[in-house]
Chain A
Amino acid sequence: MEKITSFSIKYGFIIVMIASFVGFGLAEPAFWGWHNLFSILLGVTIYGILALGVTFTLVTDGLDLSVGSTAAMSVMMASYFMVVMEMSGIAALVTCLIIGALIGLVNGLLIVKIKIPDLLATLGTMFLIQGLQLIPSGGRSIGTGMMLPNGDEAMGEFTEGFLYLGQGRVFDMIPTPVIFMLALGIVVYVVLEHTRWGRVFYAIGGNAEAARLVGANVDRYRIMAYVLSGLIASFGGVLLAARVGRGDVSSGAGLLLDAVGAALIGFAVLGARKPNAFGTIVGAIFVGMLLNGLTMLNLPYFWQDFIKGAVLVAALAFTFSLAKQR
């Protein structure tokens, strides 16, 4: 019995994942096509990347609720910089990342210095950013040819190079955002599991006072987790802007819950029972695969949120209930 428990804690999630992969393919062979598999991956990239940022905050026993609106802000700002201010693609990219890091810094300072609880602080900044991003464009979506408040037309456009970030394909096959997600996943994995910084992040999440009493600068690490979260979220937003090719006011909708969901589902992968980069990516891909497969089997689109919620609750219940028996 004990063996079964520890086996299912460790491999249960992966087994379910493989089983559904096989099941969908048998029911609908087109599911296994290269084109479909990459479209699954492409579909999860944006929130998968956001989830990697969320993972950092979860590791330090916090949570960043502002990642969705930070990404949306990044979409609007990238568009505004290129279309209205006619900046270059690279300048727009760098500015967006700086803005994202600054949002993270503000979150971190609110939480660490002013000591607002993490959920409340980032809930506040979430609304703040959601509103702020609408102001430059007067509440409208941004695209080439849009009317500016002074009556001129916006003449700038998204640059080729910038669009490639979201729409390109490496070897004419793998979408660039997928490459970015996997690369970032590897970087976050290495940082968290194989560097001393990662070790300290986890130690702070496990017992902040103990970390402080072995000399860790807990405040600085906490702030850094939010800065990284904001930075990564704004990068996700840049990719989204590049994929859509315009600054859509509603582009951030749903990103937050998908990202937090993926990071939490990651707890169940390989019995980690803690936030981890590998689990986060696998969790994101699992949700994408499930939705894709069910859609192919003609599940109506309005079922999607329900399925995501069910997977999240099931994964958490599984992780925490089995873990308790240990």
Chain B
Amino acid sequence: MTDKRGIEVRNIGKSFGATRALDGVSFDFKPGEIFAMVGANGAGKSTLIKIICGYYPDYEGEILIDGELKQFSSPHDATNAGIATVHQIINQGVVQTMTVRENLALAELLNGDGGSVLYRPAQIDARAREIAAKMGLDDIDFDQEVSELEQSERQMIAIARALATNPKMLILDEPTSSISERETEKLFETLFRLKEMGVTILYVSHRLHEIERIADRVGVIRDGTYGGVLDAPFNVRQIVTAMVGEIEHVDRHAPVIDGSQTPKIEVRDLVIEAGQPPINLKIHKGEIVGVTGLIGAGKSELASVLFGLTQPVSGEILVDGVPIYSKSVRAAIDNGIFMVPEDRANNAVVADFTIRQNITLPFLQKFFSNPLGLLKHGHESREATRMVKAMGVKCESELSNIGELSGGNQQKVVVARWLMTTFNLLILDEPFQGVDIRSRHDINAHIHANRGDRAILMLAADLDEVLEVADRVVVMNHGQIVGEQHITDIDRDTLLHWTSQSPEDLKLQA
């Protein structure tokens, strides 16, 4: 007996080493709906998607298709069970050096079904036309090589091929991240048609305005747990609220800022990308400024310029009223500007190094070696031990491999490496990504206690995280600073409004 209940996931959990990526997440996806999945970076969306499409065979919980329990041990299993996936990177889904026809019929081409090893043009052509017709891809030139096509056309081919297996569910992971607005419209038309055909579309995106337009329901994942489901109609603000959560009233003692003093850090008329409006920002002595905004709002770009990774088009950065110039990361560090980058595993941690080696890495030259370059192991060991204790890193010793620590403890080590010495500005880019509550608290407490008269800039998409740390909240949207509030008079609605304004709204105001 089969019923049309669609696809259900129940109590899905998944750990990576000591990190709990997902815990007890349940959703149901109905036939013929567009279900959008949202969550902050590192919240666990992509882990869930990978489980559903068979990429991670060892997970906790159940996947049911039309009420029937399924266990996938490979992506191939998932495809056979009716779950087709089109991944974010379009060019991984097509073979660029082949023609449209060959790409459409790739499965037949590779499997040589019927047992033939010969290339059978007529059969390939027939199959390709069949697949294209289903997608409404009639006006495409079958003899064209895929490398000559637009991104959206390549994507259409990938989707068409995914649909060739008559899936019950089509998963689209960030489908609009590399296509233009016009191409996006074409994609949406296709999605609406698929929806009418009864296909469930699981749509993963950071672009909340798109979701507001097309989704029937929105599922939210927060910190690896179930964050609720919204039914249409909804607006971007409601989605953001669901993503970042209700916040308690924050009552915290922030330093009294004397506005007449020279700010510790001043960003003056900084233009990061040609054609964008200039950014102005002051951070006073001992102040922690939190910058929030959705992905792509320009937070990381601002951090890159401050840390000497990219050069601004124009404008100045001043420390204590004196302009500085950082042509490289080294120069920025010499100017006393440090950064804890986002994406710890790829950008910050040297996995096969010990805790000690990870802590001392930025300042080997300054503190831990003599003019001959020989390391002062004793001094290095003492300093590393001191920092491990100060930050409360849970480990056997500073000689343990950093790879053995949990995400939160790794992040403490990464933060510790910059707190060994005095600085002018410390930038924390998404510092709580994949960091447990306890470690968040430890890092937060340490930064608060040791800020002295230095400036700290914290960047995060999650409003909660920013409010946990910052004395002042600045909102960025589409490359500009659109507003700010002091921690003592936070008005959440206004902040969310600023965060979720569309580019058109911003233009109207300007």
Contacts and interface: CB of A to CB of B under 8 A. Distances in A.
Contact of B351 (A197, A206, A215): A206
A75 B350 CA distance: 40
B373 interface: yes
Contact of B372 (A195, A199, A273): A195
Interface string A199-219: 110110011011111111100
Contacts of B362: 214-215
A196 B346 contact: no
B339 interface: yes
B365 interface: yes
A207 B377 CA distance: 22
A196 B350 contact: no
A211 to B, nearest CB: 7
B347 A213 contact: yes
A211 B375 contact: no
Contacts of A246: none
B364 A207 contact: no
A194 to B, nearest CB: 5
B309 to A, nearest CB: 8
Contacts of A213: 307, 329, 339, 341, 347-348
Contacts of B482: none
B431 to A, nearest CB: 14
Given A196-B375, A197-B373, A215-B329, A207 B365 contact: no
B429 to A, nearest CB: 10
B295 interface: no
Contacts of A190: 374
B304 to A, nearest CB: 10
Contact of B329 (A191, A197, A212): A212
B352 interface: yes
B353 to A, nearest CB: 6
A195 B374 contact: yes
B447 interface: no
B59 interface: no
Contacts of B348: 210, 213
B357 interface: yes
Contact of A199 (B329, B332, B349, B364): B364
B interface, size bucket: 20 to 34
Interface string B357-380: 100011011001100111101000
Contacts of B373: 191, 195-197
Nearest to A190: B374
A75 B370 CA distance: 38
Contacts of B458: none
Given A196-B369, A217-B330, A211 B350 contact: yes
A206 B329 contact: no
B361 A203 contact: yes
A213 to B, nearest CB: 5
A274 interface: yes
A211 B347 CA distance: 8
Given A209-B347, A215-B329, A215-B330, A199 B361 contact: yes
B353 A203 contact: yes
Contacts of B353: 202-203, 206
B333 interface: yes
B285 interface: no
Contacts of B341: 213
Contacts of A191: 373
The 6 closest A-B pairs by CB, nearest first: A196-B364, A195-B373, A214-B362, A206-B350, A215-B330, A196-B369
25 contacts: A191-B373, A195-B372, A195-B373, A195-B374, A196-B364, A199-B357, A199-B375, A200-B361, A200-B364, A202-B353, A206-B353, A207-B349, A209-B346, A210-B361, A211-B350, A213-B307, A213-B339, A214-B362, A214-B417, A215-B329, A215-B330, A215-B332, A215-B362, A217-B328, A217-B330
Interface of B: 307, 328-330, 332-333, 339, 341, 346-353, 357, 361-362, 364-365, 368-369, 372-375, 377, 417
Interface of A: 190-191, 194-197, 199-200, 202-203, 206-207, 209-217, 273-274
Given A195-B372, A211-B350, A215-B333, 20 more contacts: A191-B373, A194-B377, A195-B369, A195-B373, A196-B369, A196-B373, A199-B364, A203-B350, A203-B357, A206-B350, A206-B353, A207-B349, A209-B346, A209-B347, A210-B349, A213-B329, A214-B417, A215-B328, A215-B330, A217-B328
